[in-house]
Amino acid sequence: MRALILLGLVGLAAQLVDGSLGMAYGVTSTTLLLAIGTNAAAASATVHLAEIGTTLASGISHWRFGNVDWKVVAKIGIPGAVGAFAGATFLSSLSTDVAAPVMSIILLALGVYILIRFTAFGLPRGNLGKPLRRRFLAPLGLLAGFVDATGGGGWGPVGTPAILASGRMAPRKVIGSIDASEFLVAIAASVGFFVGIGSENINFSWVAVLLLGGVIAAPIAAWLVRHIPPRILGSAVGGVIVLTNVRTLLRSDWIDASTGVQTVAYIIIAVIWAAAIAYSVREYRRDKANESVEAVESELRERGSEEETASA
């Protein structure tokens, strides 16, 4: 019972992060399932089944708040579904001993990417309003869908930063569109896992509690996306993913590190993680202060211009 409650809370927290950042539901949930010893393919299948409901709820919530561009959803979501089905069948064909470390490596890479991307660069805001073309979105969707299914998450970490980096959509529109299109990816990946491993290795009670937590959090996250600092949240989530998957790899048969080596690695990661969060907070505050100064200067220039016009 305690495990189910914990999973429900994880589903809620992961969806709060995913709905406000456009990534990390699958990565966070799969990381936890792997940490408690779940089969890699079953972990990804469990998360993607839950995501059918959470992404539907999230997409509807984002649509209600005006955060979705349906043209982008179609252009990236359909290729994403194809990639997700391919990734699910590929992961299902791997042995358990091989799949778990492979998934942890993918998750670790995504965690490092999230940590560096949001800590160092924040969110790009140039080129807003320019169209996103199919020749960019279709290959991106195919890659993101494949990574999502094989890594138990990755649709958001691959898709969201790539579209944000283009600077052609407002961050809230990017996040809302990625979350809405993930519904198609979750369905395709789930079908792929059923074809590959069947349903006997999937714990449907876990699916249900992850789904419940995510559905509760979805409308809250859609509202939070307008208010929460993505830079700080990205640094925090990236650190969690890195720490957890390094732990999995160090304890795997591939490495089998000693307790001392594990302890040193955890301390180093914790120090880097804390520094990243502190840096993100400082940069966020500095950006806000600069925005306030620029707003005041702009207002003063407008007043001066109005006074000159009146005196003339």
CA 135/CA 294 separation, integer angstroms: 37
**According to the model, what pLDDT value does residue 273 have?**
92
Q: Average the pLDDT over 258-285 and give the result.
A: 92
User: Residues 6 or more apart from 130 whose CB is under 8 A from it?
Assistant: 166, 167, 168
In this predicted model, which residue has the larger pLDDT, 161 or 65? 65
Q: Average the pLDDT over 47-70 and give the result.
A: 81
Among 93-102, 140-149, 201-210, 263-272, the least confident range: 93-102
> Is pLDDT above 60 for 114?
yes
Confidence band of 56 (pLDDT split at 50, 70, 90): confident
> Is pLDDT above 60 for 128?
no
To the nearest whole percent, how much of the chain has pLDDT over 70?
A: 69
Token readout for 43 is 């972990």
Confidence band of 269 (pLDDT split at 50, 70, 90): very high
Distance (Å) of CA 125 to CA 22, 25, 146, 155, 231? 16, 24, 28, 21, 13
Token readout for 98 is 């091989």
- Minimal CA–CA distance to 241: which of 88, 96, 109? 109
| Cα Rg, the chain, nearest whole Å | 21
CA 297/CA 295 separation, integer angstroms: 6
**According to the model, what pLDDT value does residue 129 have?**
55
How many H-runs (helices) and E-runs (strands) does the chain carry? 11, 0
- Minimal CA–CA distance to 190: which of 60, 23, 26? 26
Q: Where are the domains of the chain?
A: 2-311
The mean of the pLDDT values for the chain is 76
**According to the model, what pLDDT value does residue 103 have?**
66
The pTM score is: 0.62
pLDDT tens digits, residue range 130-140?
A: 667 788 889 98
pLDDT tens digits, residue range 5-26?
A: 666 666 676 666 666 565 667 7
- Best-predicted range by mean pLDDT among 5-9, 37-41, 194-198? 194-198
- Best-predicted range by mean pLDDT among 41-55, 137-151, 257-271? 257-271
CA 170/CA 276 separation, integer angstroms: 25
Half-sphere exposure of 126 (CA within 13 A, CB side): 2
CB 283 within 8 A of CB 122: yes
Among 60-64, 74-78, 195-199, 270-274, the least confident range: 195-199
Q: Average the pLDDT over 219-223 and give the result.
A: 68
CA 189/CA 92 separation, integer angstroms: 11
User: Residues 6 or more apart from 292 whose CB is under 8 A from it?
Assistant: none
Confidence band of 311 (pLDDT split at 50, 70, 90): low
| DSSP states of 105-123 | HHHHHHHHHHHHIIIII--
**According to the model, what pLDDT value does residue 161 have?**
67
